[in-house]
Structures are given as structure tokens and as C-alpha cells.
Structure 1
Amino acid sequence: MLDFRKFGGKRIKCAGLGEVLFDVYPNEAKIGGAPANFAFHCRQLGLDSIIISSVGNDELGFKARNILAAKFLPALLLPNSKNTGAVNVLLNAKGVPTYLFLEDTAFDNIPFDELLQDVAQKLQMCCFGTLAQRSKMTHETVMKFLDTMDEDKRIRVFDVNLRRNYFSKEVIEESLKRTDIFKCNEDELPVLCEIAGIKNASAAAYRDYLADRGIYGFIFTEGAKQSTVFINDETSIKKTPVIKALDTVGAGDSFTASLVSLLMQGKNLNFAHEKAVEISAYVCTQQGAMPELTDQLKESLGI
């Protein structure tokens, strides 16, 4: 079972591990990548967070370092001879994105070294996904990193983020063996149920599948409809507020980061879920995945 009390309100160290990339819009390039978005929002929620990835010695790589420094987000960006990751983003009339990814980029080639081993041993929480694991090298690095974290003081968050064909049954199953909290959305659930051999796809059925594997945290989002969170024996369901969305990129990352950060800081599930809904809704009204929270939102968090 998940026990957030063991963190005792101490300053929690966490990381987003995986891709740093640029979301390239028609008129500008915004820094992103789910692990980077997650780490950024954890920092806003009061955690000591860091993004761990790799960027190239190119213009976007230098830009990434400068932007993250300006946002006061610590970043361990290992230098690489490959190009910095990028994805072309096209938004429809409702602000929903489609993506075109560059391949064999810096984040596909993250090495596991003594520095990463040292960082992993000091963390209490880490979030990871499947996109960076599309390459064998980064997949192995992610697995080693998660295994190196202190078994008695760790929460490992697997935000699956299925993109195109950049995932496999093997990567998902290996990742689930190293997961404490799992997150997916309504588009990903049928794919995951098929991989798991679940005939009647539902959030409840997948929750049971996860629990059978010792995973007692499941976050399930359904876009503009609602979100459901299962933590141990508790279930929380909340409607998504009606808003005028400008850009939904990064909304799911902010939701997961907010929810887990607040739970780890001792907030109850109802409060943590409520604030995660508010924050992700706010992110949808801003362009880019890393907007600063308003003072009003920050004050309402009670941290």
C-alpha cells in the first residue's frame, strides 16, 4: 500500500526523468517534454525538483539550458552529440494537439553513469514515461535509475504518455515492475487493456490489474469530462471544469505533478485531487506547458 506519511512533511526531492524537447508551434518554439513539465510543476508545488535528460550542443540545447535556468528549475542535462529533441505541434480549433516527433535525438541517448546513480539514491520521487524509452539506451538508463532509488523512501510515477508507435508491450511491462503510481488517459486505456489482456476495458478493470501487481495508485483522466484517482482503497472522481482552452499541451503533466506533490506533502486525496483539477484547467488557458501559477492559486494550496 502507498504510505505518504513516511515522508513526514520533509522537503521532498523529486525528478522528471526522460525527454527534454521543444514543442515547435507555427510561430514559436516552447520548451516541453512530459518529465520537464512534471518537474516544473512540482517545483511550483513546493518540492525540490530537477529535470534529468540530455540535450545537444546545438541552438535548441543552449536555449533549453537558458530557459530552465530562467525558470529556476534545476536541470541535469547531459551533453550529447545528437540534436536536441523537438516535436512539431499542430493545434485544432479546440486547442487539442497533434505531434510530429524528431527521432534519434539527445534524449534517446541518455547514459547511466555515476552522477545519475548518485542523484537517484537521494530522491524520494521520480516521474517517467515511455517516449524516452523508445530507444534501448535510454530505456536501460531509466530502468537502472529507478532500481537505484532507495526502496524504503521512493514513489515512482509512471505517466505512460503513449505517442505514435514509440512504445512496446515489453517496455510497459518492465516499467510497471518499477511503478508505485500509474497514470493514463481515456485514449491510452483501451491500448493498455489490450496489452494486459483485459477484454472489457474500463478504469476499474485496469485498477484491479494494477493492484494485482502491487500498484496501489492509479490516475485516470478523461479530458473535458472528468478524472478519477484510486489511492489504496480510496476513490475520488471530479468533473473537469468548463473552460475556454487555449492549449492543452502539458495539462496532464500539471495534473499529475500537482496531485502527487500535494499527497506527498500530507494533503488528503480530496484536496489534492481538487487542486490538481484547478491547476490543470488553468494550464489549459495558457500557451505552453510551463506557465507560472497565479498568486491566488498558490495561496489556495496551503503549503
Structure 2
Amino acid sequence: MLRSMYSGVSGMRGFQTKLDVIGNNIANVNTVGFKSGRVMFKDIMSQTVSGVTAPVDGESAGVNAKQIGLGVSIGSIDTLHTAGSAQTTNNPLDLRLDGDGFFLVKMTPDQDMPYLTRAGDFHMDAAGNLVTSDGLFVCDSAGDPITIDTENVTAFTISQDGTIVQKLADGTTENGVQVGVGKVVNPEGLEKIGGNLYRMTLNANPDGELEPTTANNAEVGTGAIISGQLEMSNVDLTGEFTEMIVAQRGFQANSRIITTSDEVLQEVVNLKR
């Protein structure tokens, strides 16, 4: 009876975590570049009441083990790095990666390891720096902050490989730096730090290293940069609400296990009367 009660408690804890993750997904349904999460469960080790008996030829048959499960625990909380839908904005500084890879941004120009993001809603500050909404510097393919010469450049466009094509004041055009992109072996190994940013970890790339590269690179496998579009959240509201119903009913069912176990314990106590 106590085993069933503690199993119910573990189930309620697990489904509470699942509801927390679902709530965060729904809250970020319109967040640019957001990647949804999911909770995977695993059973806790079972108590073996009796072990396995091997069959003996001509004498006895084999007997399976008798085991009682002790509840559930969280196996993993995954981040699903599937592509979100494209939203056309026609803003030349809005960039979307059509494939694998992340934009690289730095809090300061001399920051060693850049942060990664899929949110491409960039801006240009008064000094001509390409920055995020929070003022982080967008990096080029060398890992350095991108600065556009606003004095000599009258207009510019960004090509699919990230090259900033600048139109000069004399009417000519020239190619500037390329917007940097980072490729990660295991995107689920990245650490979320808020603000649509990820931090490198030892399980994202070998040795936790990250070499900036370019977009639309077939050798590395990075996607093309689409200017004038944003990648929206990959949250599927229909699926999230369905999972919310499952989590709610699972939470209720596990609470019934606790209630029933309590009633049985009460009956046992009443035997003394």
C-alpha cells in the first residue's frame, strides 16, 4: 500500500513537470526562433519479490521473476530543434536560416565564445553595428562584430550565403563581410540562457568548441540565409493542448492512487477497533 502511495506521488511530480514544460511552450507560441520542449518519462527501478528460476531439462520449467514497480521519474526534457514556420516581414535586417545552424552573437566584442540564436530580428545601431534587440553584437564568419560603414554605404542587401552587398555613394557595389553561422553536432546539448540565446556545452560539440562558418555551405551543412523573413516558434498548439489534457488526466489519476491507498490504510487501522 505504501508502495502504491509513493508511486502516485512520483506520478504527480512527473506530470507537474510535464505541465510546466507545456505551459512554457504555449507561452512562447509567438516567440521568434523558439524551440519547444517535451518531457520523457522512465520507470524507477522495480522491487524484486522473487528471482528468475532457470528451466532444468526433464525436471522443472523456468519461472519468471516477480517485480513490483516503484513509480516514475523524468527521463529527459528534450528541446526539439525542428524548423519553425517562416514569417515574411520584408525588413532587410530580418534574417531566417533555412536549414541547420545558428546565428552567432556576442555581449562584448572580446567575448571568447559567442552565444547562439535562431532569432534573426536584427537591428543597426547609431555606430553602424549589427545588433540584436538586446544590444548583442552579431558576428561575421570570423567571429568578429559586424559593422556597416554608414558614411559611404547608401544601401545594402544580405545574400543567401550571408554576404553583405553594399552600394557605395559613388554608385558602385562591393561585397562586405559575411554573417557568421555556427554548426552544432548536437543542438539538444546546448544550454538555454534566456533571451532566445543558447550557450555552448561539452555535449553540443566535441570539446565544447565552436568554429564560425558561413551560411549556405554545402560542405559544413549550414542552411541559406533568407533576408526579409523570420523563423517563428515551432510550437504546435494543437499538440500542446492535447498533451495538456493527457497530463491533467494523468495527474488526476495519480492523485486517485494516493486517495485509494489512504483509504485502504484507514481500513487497516480500523481493524484494531
Bin for the TM-score computed over the shorter chain: under 0.3
Q: Structure 1 length as normaliser, TM-score?
A: 0.22
- TM-score normalized by the length of structure 2: 0.24
Higher Cα radius of gyration:
2
Kindly indicate whether structure 1 or structure 2 has the higher relative contact order, using CA contacts under 8 Å at least 6 residues apart: 2
The structure that is helix-richer by fraction is 1
Of Structure 1 and Structure 2, the greater strand share is in: 2
